[in-house]
Amino acid sequence: MAEQYADPSTFSMDSFRLDGKVALVTGASYGIGFAIATGLAKAGAKIAFNDRDQAKIDAAVENYAKDGIEARGYVADVTSEEQMQQLVKDVEADFGTTPDILVNNAGIIKRTPMLEMDAADFRQVVDIDLNGPFIVSKAVLPGMIAKGHGKIINICSMMSELGRETVSAYAAAKGGLKMLTRNICSEFGEHNIQCNGIGPGYIATPQTAPLRERQADGSRHPFDSFIVAKTPAARWGTPIDLMGTAVFLASDASNFVNGQVVYVDGGILAYIGKQPA
């Protein structure tokens, strides 16, 4: 019998919509997580997020509301299996369903030379940036399996591919997260669950603002000059640059994309750099 192929004429731009879907975005009180959650909401998703600090949750809920988004925040630590299992139960009680979409965004970085870094600090970075996504994914996967669909998006990094001085723990964790992404794809793809990653480049946020401040003589900050020179786009990224990729990976339009990391970096990883003058 001849193989049956989907009719391309049945494709609809509605496949990029997220209407009726519940998205859990960890650490989405501010920054990249906040932007990604906002993008998912604008595509129709209902937003749940967590933070360890109730005050940050309250402020974030107000900020979401300013953009017409009704987001619900929960106090929970991604490194606690008990707390994340309870969070998923709370999401189901509040939204009427378990998460359809998970964005593992919560993370930290400690910029410390390796020989000066305590093992406890190394473990803390790995615990939040790698064990956290494992724990949260483990909490949402049973619900996704029961539904027969699910999307997990891990926020990786260029440091999933590159090394750099002072970020040994972060690079180790993000490299591990890339491989966790591939293994979730391998283990749960048959359940119609897609797990992919986003690898942001250098993104202009309030946290990176000091690295972009003009010097007293009006010149660029040295690190700002370095990043712009290494980026074919010749600029820093913005949180908005990540939103479209997140919506695509969360939507039915990406149903045959699995185990990949999409680097949204302005081309840094493709570029060897300019020849010195």
One-letter identity of residue 31: G
Q: Which residue has the tokens 């519940």?
A: 22
**Phi and psi based region of residue 218 (left: phi greater than 0; alpha: psi -120 to 50; beta: remaining):** left
Tokens of 228: 């712009």
- Catalytic pick from 170, 202, 263, 271? 170
Cα angle vertex 13, ends 12, 18, to 5°? 110
| Residue 194: HSE in the Cβ half-sphere, 13 Å Cα cutoff | 17
E strand intervals along the chain? 22-26, 46-51, 71-75, 101-104, 150-155, 193-200, 261-264
5 is catalytic: no
Q: Is 57 helix (H, G, I), strand (E, B) or coil?
A: helix
Q: Per DSSP, what are the bridge partners of residue 193?
A: 150
Residues labelled as active-site residues: 170
